[in-house]
Structure 1
Amino acid sequence: MDSVFKALADPTRRLLLDRLREHNGQTLRELCERLDMARQSATQHLDILVRANLVTVVRRGRERFHYLNPVPIQEIDERWISGFDKPRLQMISAIKNQAEEYAMTTETVPNYVYVTYIRANAEHVWKALTDADLTARYWGHSNVSDWQPGSAWEHQRVDGSGIADVVGQVVEAEPPTRLVMTFEDPANPESSAEPSVVTFVVEPHQDIVRLTVTHEKLANAQAFADISDGWPAVLANLKSLLETGEVLPQAPWEMSRVDA
């Protein structure tokens, strides 16, 4: 928490966060152009934001894209803000959320990026993402595929019906560090919307891994809101399973924002 407050104390770093909030997923060159800042200065400030976990770097080829990570801000809200005047703050937040949702209906829907750290090795995380029995435990659905590039995959219910609530195609599979796949709603096969794309990046470091989930090409603001609730819940359950051998006592996605 100290590193987060230190990072936020500098007006230049707050400006960098503002620019990423306006347009998430920028390269260093794009950030420097928008801020009229030397690359060296921007790099130093971004390094501090990355160490504070306020910014996540996603590599694609030679490019490094910078994304906001909302988790530390949420922790500040829970620890230092919500407890003081929660009802009034919730009302203000509701107004703010409505304004942001309206804004997103008239602008490009941003990509969603979430980062979590797990006490496990890369092979265990990969298996948790691709093994049908394990996904059934922490996700409530079985992810079924042979996980070869070009193959189909299904997010099947565990009630024995065989119904898939999400389907898609495996775009890339580089075990145990990178998995890319499309997400589509099989209930709407004639939709002209381009399927969204999810990328899992598993980065091992000694006894832990950093798991970065990027969800791109979202159809609209409602889709962004839905996955913003869904991914943190699913990944919290995955983390609990790998670190303790058990999922959380209750399904975290059943909690509403108000309950949280």
Structure 2
Amino acid sequence: MSYSRNLELEKINILQMKLNFKAVEGHEKYLGLPTYIGSSKKRVFQVIQDRVWKKLKGWKGQCLSQAGREVLIKAVAQAIPSYAMQCFKIPKSIIEGIEKMCRSFFWGQQAEERKTAWVAWEKLFLPKKEGGLGIRNFEFFNRALLAKQAWRILTQPNSLMTRVLKNKYFPKSTFLEAKVSPSMSFTCRSIFEARHVIEKGMCRVIGDGKDTKYGMTLGCQSCGSVGLKAR
């Protein structure tokens, strides 16, 4: 366990006695993910791009068909960042770098040579039935994975993760109403920024009406009709 510098020594000693964990200055990584994200996010996540590059570099010397390159990109290269994308909003420069490497590998570029890209890379994101190859858009996939975590917080209020985040970051408001503050961890900010993804598709089911407030809105002035709007 590592402690914040702002935590009092007395509280640290109490936690140590109750939990009996080994105290350390900090964890460089935990389960393969960085535990502390500093100001240079690109430097922290550069390791993901390097891992993808090592895989692609090892395959470039092999005689692979374009279909084989497609399979390797989907099965391996695109799977490497998935774990980190569930917890962090990956910097756009890292995502663009990974997609650039995958694009070069797919079209068979060797070293500094350039080959013609016969189709725009964005079109390959489309499903095969729509003329694409179903290659993953990393930016959209990152948003979807973070939105999945946001959905868990929204629908599982009694889970440990939800209770910890609520007590620390939004004790007096709901998850959807909470404001993002600079004091939030990078993981929490990443999840909060994905709320707009689920807000676009969610709707309120009235049910028994106990948790729904109604606001009265006026309808047509000529006939005097009145409508109710759920909040």
Q: Which has the larger radius of gyration?
A: 2
Fold conserved between structures, TM > 0.5: no
**Structure ranking higher in strand proportion:** 1
Into which bin does the TM-score normalised by the smaller protein fall? under 0.3
